[in-house]
Structure 1
Amino acid sequence: MSLIRGFIAASLDGYIADRDGGIGWLAPFDEVDYGYAGFIADIGRVVMGRGTFDVVTGFESGWPYAGKGGIVVTSTPLANAPAGVEAWHKGVPALIAHLRAREGENAGGDIWLVGGGGLQAAFIEAGALDRLDLFVIPVLLGEGVPLFPRTPAPPRTLTLEASLALDKGMVRLTYTFHRP
């Protein structure tokens, strides 16, 4: 069974981007080996919101997920989408059902919810996120884009599966979710 996974970095005070939406504060940690190569090798499909898609397609290096299937949750058409990337307009519950029904088509790998906390929070609320790798970065931003938006959802219990201290004070925390 393919896992639906989160793999995301946050400042020590819980932000994934600064107040302007920037992630330049992560640059001093770029040379840290945090296990991305092994992680991405396990991924068969990426899923992201439109805002993340627009940021990623603006990278000078081009689409970083070549060879992976892709779904972009959006209400507007995708112009010039990379090969294998499709727009999704039917909402998160239908997307979860779609992903679970297509598990055999995920290029033999897991599904990665790329980007912001909003989409991940929606999957968590639906009980569909299986695993979260959270990288805590030793920076205090003071304000910015929160790791997860505020939600009226009830508390969720997670199990810490692993923790790993990395270079420059980074910490990798791997959690699995209990089903509601």
Structure 2
Amino acid sequence: MSVIFYGCVSLDGYLADKNHGLGWLHASGSPEETEYDAFYKTIDIVVMGRRTFDEVSKLGSVADIYPTTTNYVFTSRNDLEAEGIQTFSGDVVTFIQKIAADKRIWLVGGGGLLAPLLEAQLVDRMYIQIAPVILGDGIPLFQKHPYSRRFVLSDVKRYGQFAELVYDRLPANT
């Protein structure tokens, strides 16, 4: 299995504003300016947290937004029902480790999901797009943690006002 983070942050490293909103991102540009469509075609499974799901749902049905993938929402609440998703409330690391080796998993959002996967050295690639916005406060991409991880820069692209940095995980013994 391959675990991939693909997302956009502000210049100061936030995934969302302090209210978990993404209005700043939508005002910065659109996915059509990037290679999002080509990326999505390579994905089998989408994983996101509840707050990310709530924001994605403002754009439309998850079944319409992610029509060709199996879509999981991690949530501790049991009141979420929507077309095109399955909910899960357990440990994200255990969940990911049980997925078949030939599957490509997109971690859509949620520093709370990304942190344990980074700690377990399960994140293989990160596409980090940077929007030309300084939020000053918000939900950071990377949470504070007691470990360090090293990645290697494998590509840099420009899409209009967005910069995209692509990082690959170094082998465990590096």
Give the TM-score category using the shorter length.
0.7 to 0.9
The structure-2 alpha-carbon separation of the partners of 1:86 and 1:165, relative to structure 1 and needing over 3 Å to count, comes to same
Change in CA separation of 1:123 and 1:142 when aligned onto 2, cut-off 3 Å:
same
Structure 2: state its 5+ residue gaps: none
> Contact 1:21 / 1:144 at 8 angstroms: preserved in 2?
yes
Aligned length: 169
Q: Partner of 1:48: helix, strand, or coil? A: strand
Gaps of 5+ in 1: none
Aligned to 1:176: 168
Residue-by-residue CA offset, 1:20-43 (whole Å, 9 max, x unaligned): 221111123126611101010111
Q: What is the letter of the counterpart of residue 173 of structure 1?
A: L
SS of the residue corresponding to residue 43 of structure 1 reads coil
Aligned ranges for residues 1-150 of structure 1 at < 5 Å? 2-26=1-25, 27-30=27-30, 33-59=33-59, 61-63=60-62, 64-77=65-78, 79-83=80-84, 85-99=85-99, 102-104=100-102, 106=103, 110-150=104-144
Question: Following TM superposition, by how much is the alpha carbon of 1:96 offset from its aligned partner in structure 2, in angstroms?
Answer: 2.1
Instruction: Report the CA distance between 1:56 and its aligned residue.
Output: 2.2
Question: RMSD between aligned alpha carbons?
Answer: 1.8
Once the two structures are superposed, residues 82-122 of structure 1 have per-residue CA deviations (whole angstroms, 9 ceiling, x without a partner) of 24x322233123112212xx244x4xxx2100112221121
- What is the distance in 2 between the residues matched to 1:136 and 1:147? 11
Find the residue that maps to 1:90 and give its secondary structure. coil
**TM-score, normalised on structure 2?**
0.87
Moved segments of 4+, more than 6 Å: none
Quote the sequence identity (%).
34
Q: 2:163 aligned with 1:163, yes or no? A: no
